[in-house]
Amino acid sequence: MKVLITGVAGFIGSNLLDYLIEHTDWQITGIDNLSTGSEVNIAGQKNNKRFTFIKQNCTDVKSLKEYDKVFHLAALPRIQPSFEFINEHITANLVNGIHLIELMVKENHYPRFIYSGSSAIYGTPQTIPTAEDEPVSCLSPYAFQKYEIEKYLELIATRYPLDYVTLRYFNPYGPRSFNPANKFNAYSSVVGIFLDRKKNGQELLITGDGQQKRDFIHVSDLAKANYLASVHKEKLNTAFNIGNGSTLSILDLAKLISDKYSFIPKREGEADITFANISKARTILKWEPGYKIEEYIKSIAE
């Protein structure tokens, strides 16, 4: 079994790599242009004979013929910069994915394509917890670009035998979520930022009143969902919510980490609440989240 991970040197890609090395005997090629990722994230697998790293743009991939599965994670996944650096985000979040989809069509070769989608496409949802049939309501260019790839997969699959799964991640946390060298690190996942500020003796900065709630999901649970989606016997061609199925307010998160915090203005384009209904992933993928954020934070503190 040969598989490709795009964005392998990023937060989720590098954790997926570790997971697949541990739980499979697959040969894994990982590509990353290192625009925001870091080789440090994959240093642990550098000498592993089952892993090959190529520093490459997704759009420079010439063929997917050798792969049985493709995990497409490469992106610029930050909401706020997507308002400012619009073209750069269109390239990273849309053009890369389209290139890979077109390659599959051109080569008439359809590996299982596992696409890292985002719960950002729901905006501030009308239904809590939110199921996959919630209306799409993008509040940012980033959310819109993530949705576009979902829609392209759906549309191209009406003509060609694509074999894809979209995983709509809620709010990931875990090792390597904060990369100090990432030019957009000020907008990283809040758990990573808070832990980094605590480590540096700084107070935590809470946007708005901190009552906004997030469904935090551990990166190993995301990796497991990717794996299960990739080995599912049937062609799925659908999207799954991948969250914990619970919420925590940002203020309560801050209190778990530190007693030194203050408030900064609310940012536009961010949802008031994310809370996943994960019944579909439970039923079809037989996936179950295994981690709790409170325990993760306690383990870091210890």
Ligand X SMILES: NC(=O)c1ccc[n+]([C@@H]2O[C@H](COP(=O)([O-])OP(=O)(O)OC[C@H]3O[C@@H](n4cnc5c(N)ncnc54)[C@H](O)[C@@H]3O)[C@@H](O)[C@H]2O)c1
Residue 23 tokens read as 């739980």
d(CA 214, CA 192): 14
Nearer to ligand X, 19 or 233 (CB): 19
Nearer to ligand X, 161 or 168 (CB): 168
* Among positions 30, 77, 210, 289, the unique one binding ligand X when judged by CB under 6 A: 77
CA distances from 125 to 120, 178, 252 (A): 10, 27, 21
Residue 114 tokens read as 């596992």
Binding to ligand X by residue 165, rule CB under 6 A? no
The H-assigned helical ranges of 70-173 are 81-84, 86-90, 96-107, 141-156
d(CA 290, CA 245): 11
Question: Minimum distance between the CB of residue 11 and ligand X, rounded to whole angstroms?
Answer: 4
Q: Which stretch binds ligand X (CB under 6 A): 8-16, 198-206, 231-239, 283-291?
A: 8-16
d(CA 117, CA 102): 18
Burial category of 126 from C-beta neighbours within 10 Å (exposed 0-12, middle 13-18, buried 19 and up): exposed
Question: Minimum distance between the CB of residue 233 and ligand X, rounded to whole angstroms?
Answer: 25
Nearer to ligand X, 260 or 267 (CB): 267
Using CB under 6 A as the binding criterion, the count of chain residues that bind ligand X stands at 29
Binding to ligand X by residue 186, rule CB under 6 A? no
Binding to ligand X by residue 254, rule CB under 6 A? no
Binding to ligand X by residue 35, rule CB under 6 A? yes
Nearer to ligand X, 11 or 152 (CB): 11
Binding to ligand X by residue 243, rule CB under 6 A? no
User: What's the one-letter identity of residue 184?
Assistant: F
CB 164 within 8 A of CB 113: yes
Q: Which stretch binds ligand X (CB under 6 A): 27-35, 46-54, 153-161, 289-297?
A: 27-35
Binding to ligand X by residue 172, rule CB under 6 A? yes
* Among positions 4, 13, 164, 214, the unique one binding ligand X when judged by CB under 6 A: 13
CA distances from 225 to 57, 100, 105, 189 (A): 25, 21, 26, 19
* Among positions 28, 58, 206, 223, the unique one binding ligand X when judged by CB under 6 A: 58
CA distances from 209 to 132, 226, 257, 293 (A): 28, 34, 17, 21
Nearer to ligand X, 77 or 210 (CB): 77
Indicate the length of the chain as a whole number: 302
* Among positions 29, 45, 82, 116, the unique one binding ligand X when judged by CB under 6 A: 116
* Among positions 70, 74, 114, 162, the unique one binding ligand X when judged by CB under 6 A: 74
CB 32 within 8 A of CB 182: no
Nearer to ligand X, 73 or 253 (CB): 73
C-alpha R_g of the chain: 18
Q: Which stretch binds ligand X (CB under 6 A): 75-83, 127-135, 193-201, 263-271?
A: 75-83
Site for ligand X in 121-150 (CB under 6 A): 146
Task: List residues binding ligand X (CB under 6 A).
Answer: 6-7, 9-13, 31-37, 57-58, 73-77, 92, 96, 116, 118, 146, 169, 172, 189
